[in-house]
Amino acid sequence: MKEIVVTLPDGSNKTLQDGATVHDLAKSIGAGLARVSIAGKVNGEAVDLSAPLKNGDRVEIITEKSPEALEIIRHSTSHLMAQAVKALFPKAKVTIGPAIDNGFYYDFDVESPFGPDDLERIEAKMRELAKANLTITRQVLSKEEAVRLFKEIGEDYKVELIEDLDADSVSLYDQGGFVDLCRGPHLPSTSFCKAFKLTSIAGAYWRGDENRRMLQRIYGTAFADKKELDEYLARLEEAKRRDHRKIGRELDLFSFSDEVGAGLVIWHPKGAMLRTILEDFERKQHLKRGYDIVLGPQILKKELWERSGHYENYRENMYFTEVDGQSYGIKPMNCLSHMMIYKSQLRSYRDLPLRFFELGTVHRHERAGVLHGLLRVRGFTQDDAHIICTPEQLDAEIKGVLAFVSDVMGIFGFDYEMELSTRPEKSIGSNEDWERATNALRAALEGSGRPFEINEGDGAFYGPKIDIKLRDALDRKWQCATIQCDFTLPERFDLTYVAPDGERRRPVMVHRVILGAIERFIGVLIEHYAGNFPLWLSPVQGMVLTVTDAHIPYARSVCAALCEAGIRVQHDFRNEKLGFKIREAQLQKVPYMFVIGDKEVDTETVTPRFRDGSNLPAMKVTELIGFLEQEVKRFN
């Protein structure tokens, strides 16, 4: 019989019979490997264990410990969930069910919404189907055959998906008679779905279109073993405890109101103070790095947005209004005003680089279904800056922004990852300009010494970008800082500078944010710190507490001295027990409590108490002020 030779990851070769599958290869290497194998990788592409091999293939066996395993496990578990739903709710129609960062989801068209009890029933059915060890098999049908099959079983959404595919054939997966459309790969059987949990229910429009039917989305997660699942569920509970919307209410930081409008934040006194602290921090950090503070208008003529390309490529995210018969766009970003500042006078190479910084409030039309507390809003403020420089200065400016990001994230205690996002399908500008911009960002990233990933096709419509994703205390990733390199808008707005030879040259523009949207960053900070802000960032830094009414006069003088020194302090002089007042201040996550009793009045001191319950020795008010100022200076 004919033989084939395949190459293993270590470079060694393995001889197999013609027609051998990935699983046959695993068995030939060892029975132990065959037992734990779940899929394969052939010439860099993930495939099922049943996939046939060809002579010359480079093959890797994927086990539960492989980096690729989790996505396969989660995707297969989403199919298991769909099978369970169909078994319990035969009239349900299935749509799509992908693996996502923290698990998976599947959308269903059902007669009535799912409830918590339904989740328990579905999960129990999933365990039953997993225990049944149903073989998962792949088959390929022509597009016409697949359409006919799904029409026969009444799965209209699958028919729509197939008809929209630009392909002659499609792959389907069958497990115990449940058939689903999917590229795969999948686990070899349902028994490999060992550790899963359904976590929540939400509504979702079909294909994200508000004009289409609202579906029921079930979220879940899955892991290779129960220990990993239990650890994740514990983190999930902690994430619920840290939810910025919950903490925001408890600390009275902000609110939303249907009367005001969805996605529009109302900042309460303590929340507004938190914003002010952050914004003052931002101004200070930018000024010491050579940025000029600028301000642009909230609305600009529609013609300007047409010229920039925003009207053609971004108008679905914009709001428009009319003044005196003239159409205006409410700005979704700040770059146009900054370019107009640049154009307001003739510029020389000696003037460059120019760094324009604006805490600019912008508005973007976000769909109601994606709004989420402070993390996704319609009106927000960006720490937006635009660096206009010569092409020769570009590398140093990008590296300067990367260093800026590193410094600031260190202050907040964030680690982060970086991605280089390249040209999207919907974009403007020449291939040459895109290549120059992408190469400039890549070179700066390589020079930074930090690892980065390539995110193909996810750049801005006018240029590639570096996306910086923070990792918080629960190891979750958040997109905040971004650096975009743009040769296109300077061309469209005819930005020039006078070069050393007297000729007019075209500058390049770097769009960048450090924290990103202030609203989003505050939401991330609340969850990162669980509301326990460091002293420098706390809206209320200390609470003066009296033991009895007799201590109020001295306590007032302490408050006055602290306020005079710039310490953000409040007081609780209520006729309540001290223990009650301390618990109230702890619930408000105030960093320090300053207790005033007989001893403090007699010695003209204050006894500081940390929010964790520990105490410092009694000290004079001047000592206390010096102590607090020293702690704040460590972060500023």
Q: Which residues are catalytic?
A: 335, 364, 382, 384, 386, 465, 511
- Report the phi/psi class of residue 133: left, alpha or beta, with left for phi > 0 and alpha for psi in -120 to 50: left
CB 42 within 8 A of CB 20: no
CB within 8 Å of 143: residues ≥ 6 apart: 162, 163, 165, 167, 168, 169, 170
Radius of gyration of the chain (CA): 30
- CA–CA distance, 72 with 62 (Å, rounded to integer): 10
CB 158 within 8 A of CB 181: yes
- CA–CA distance, 175 with 154 (Å, rounded to integer): 18
- CA–CA distance, 208 with 368 (Å, rounded to integer): 11
Residue in the block written with tokens 């799509």: 96
DSSP, collapsed to helix, strand or coil, labels residue 624 as helix
CB within 8 Å of 30: residues ≥ 6 apart: none
Burial class, 162, CB count within 10 angstroms (exposed 0-12 / middle 13-18 / buried 19+): buried
- CA–CA distance, 558 with 571 (Å, rounded to integer): 10
CB 64 within 8 A of CB 73: yes
End-to-end CA distance of the chain: 75
CB 516 within 8 A of CB 481: yes
